[in-house]
Amino acid sequence: MQSLLLTTASDLTWSQRLYELISDYQAVPQQAMGFPADWRHERFWNLTFS
């Protein structure tokens, strides 16, 4: 989604807002939403917040 937004709307904050939202709701099962257990260590998130 972030890649599409960068191309169409230049929304640089979408991924950061998603990261913060998921971090704020730790009780929600992230794997049930399709996130791998180590999603925070994926290259995409590291590039986004570097």
Q: Quick one: pLDDT at residue 50?
A: 44
**DSSP 8-class letter at 36:** -
**Residue 46: is its pLDDT beyond 80?**
no
pLDDT at residue 48 is higher than 80: no
**Residue range 20-24: average pLDDT?**
88
Question: Which tokens hold the place of 33?
Answer: 């939403």
Taking the complete model, does pTM exceed 0.85, yes or no? no
Q: What is the pLDDT of residue 15?
A: 76
1: enclosing H helix or E strand: none
What pLDDT is attached to residue 24?
A: 92
What is the rounded average pLDDT of the residues 27-47?
Answer: 83
Amino acid 24 reads D
